[in-house]
Amino acid sequence: MAKHQITNQVRTLRFMAGEMTQQELADHVGVSRQTIAAIEKGKYSPTLELAFRIAHVFSVPLQEAFSYNPADE
């Protein structure tokens, strides 16, 4: 599985936003439901634009939706 240093709280934000479904979030930001699922599972890091769009949907700053964790060396 691909390792990502970027984690997200998309699933949590989604449930806090009136239990928004993955499909609804996908429709808001213009991607497929499978892409939202992959982001939540940490299998895909979105582009900067998509990350901003997701944060905008939940009306939160980018850092609240996505966080960067440098790998230990």
Chain contacts with another protein (rule: CB under 8 A) = 1-2, 4, 21-24, 30-35, 37-38, 41-44, 46-47, 50
How far apart (Å, rounded) are the C-alpha atoms in residues 7 and 36? 13
CB 2, min distance to another protein, A: 4
Strands (E), 1-73: 6-8, 66-68
How far apart (Å, rounded) are the C-alpha atoms in residues 25 and 9? 13
CB 26, min distance to another protein, A: 8
CB 10, min distance to another protein, A: 13
